[in-house]
Structure 1
């Protein structure tokens, strides 16, 4: 009886080991399958600004994009500090621009005049005042780029107003209304400073957490498309339109 009991216990241990090995192998295989599925799920997430474009390219590339993405921390911190100082000076302290320019010129003239006068008493040649000349080529490039962007904006507005795309028209109206609402709540300098702070924070945040942002943005876009489909079915489809097809066929 004792030998039979030992054999039974031995068989039970062997069966337990086999079951545990099978469960571990099945769990490892399921883990490997999950790992295989992860990249495929990640590949299904659509980029919010396009798959092939990086954040640096979306910002136009060059030195300006480097500043917004904090590639050179000293330059980025300096630009943001100057913008903050200007906002505090003119908005928080309510200092006027014309008074600031005049006071700055007065201070500069007084310092240079006293320096030049003192140099005659100590028998030293007065310091040479640098000649400030605005170069012509950068001004022309800036004016040319500004002209191109303004013309592009007018072309977009003309295309929207032509009535070809109702979705673009509604998006433009909603965007302009949102900008006008924000502009009525803040003054221009505060709005400009807020835009500057967003340019220094949102791109670097998006570059760091791009996958998560794209995932939730895709969900939001799907929900917006559903709501637009409901709005189109209940409202837009019931708006009467002229017989454009009959006119074209005639």
Structure 2
């Protein structure tokens, strides 16, 4: 029991338990623990739970159109058309404002001056903070990959093998862009459905989880070289 207490809380189970921060409890559904915060996790929760319908609708429609465009055209074509569309809007607006100022003989100046004066430089401190935050996730992923491919836990490695075997069938039916489109549709629909039907979904998920644990325990008992866990 002493060894299990000192085990890293981040990689307790490769595929079954997910990642968890030490000392953090379950957050309320829909991210309601974000009280007046503007942090990225809270903003993402508000976005996928449709707290602001206009903002979520704009993000959802824009990204969906982009993915559908990538499914029909090449990345170079989509990027070129997007840049041309943006330039068409900005150039047209710049010319329009210049004509209006010439006719009215006003001196309003450049229409995008407020945006041109914005400080968009990235400080070295902010850059290092982003790099350090990214390195935490990279190191965690490397440790997880080493555990799985060097078979530290036979059951976890077998789970990964089964998932990859299933993904070969998924890859034969869908390509990467199609999977991204389906993922976006699920991200913007499943959280809202779960929030609405949380009690019923938790009930059925609990039944499935109990059956999965029972089947996993039976498989572990039959696998050679797998140490049986002592009941706590």
| Cα deviation, residue 171, structure 1 | 2.0
Q: 1:194 is matched with which residue? A: 182
Q: In terms of mean alpha carbon deviation, does 94-103 or 79-88 score higher?
A: 94-103
| Cα deviation, residue 136, structure 1 | 0.7
| TM-score normalised by length of structure 2 | 0.62
Superposition map of 1:129-144 within 5 A = 129-130=112-113, 131=116, 134-137=120-123, 141-144=129-132
Give the number of equivalent residue pairs.
190
SS for the counterpart of 1:71 is coil
Evaluate the alpha carbon distance shift between residue 220 and residue 129 of structure 1 in structure 2; reply closer, same or farther with a 3 A threshold. closer
Tell whether the 8 Å contact from 2:94 to 2:111 is kept in structure 1 after alignment.
no
Q: In terms of mean alpha carbon deviation, does 181-190 or 200-209 score higher?
A: 181-190
Q: 2:203 is matched with which residue? A: 215
Equivalent residue for 1:73, pick from 53, 65, 69? 53
Q: 2:92 is matched with which residue? A: 111
CA distance in 1, matches of 2:217, 2:66: 46
CA distance in 2, matches of 1:77, 1:71: 10
Q: 1:37 is matched with which residue? A: none
Larger radius of gyration: 1
Q: Does 1:127 align with 2:110?
A: yes
Tell whether the 8 Å contact from 1:183 to 1:191 is kept in structure 2 after alignment.
no
SS for the counterpart of 1:136 is coil
The structure whose RCO (Cα within 8 Å, separation 6+) is larger is 1
Q: Deviations over 1:67-125 (max 9, x none)?
A: 11222222222221222222333325778223224423552464256447646863555
Q: Deviations over 1:203-227 (max 9, x none)?
A: 2222222222222122222332343
| TM-score normalised by length of structure 1 | 0.58
Q: 2:212 is matched with which residue? A: 224
CA distance in 2, matches of 1:74, 1:105: 21
Superposition map of 1:14-25 within 5 A = none
CA distance in 2, matches of 1:188, 1:134: 33
Gaps of 5+ in 1: 1-47, 242-250
CA distance in 2, matches of 1:192, 1:121: 48
Evaluate the alpha carbon distance shift between residue 78 and residue 109 of structure 1 in structure 2; reply closer, same or farther with a 3 A threshold. closer
Tell whether the 8 Å contact from 1:87 to 1:189 is kept in structure 2 after alignment.
yes
Q: Deviations over 1:10-37 (max 9, x none)?
A: xxxxxxxxxxxxxxxxxxxxxxxxxxxx
CA distance in 2, matches of 1:115, 1:189: 38
Q: Does 1:204 align with 2:197?
A: no
Evaluate the alpha carbon distance shift between residue 140 and residue 103 of structure 1 in structure 2; reply closer, same or farther with a 3 A threshold. farther
Evaluate the alpha carbon distance shift between residue 226 and residue 134 of structure 1 in structure 2; reply closer, same or farther with a 3 A threshold. same
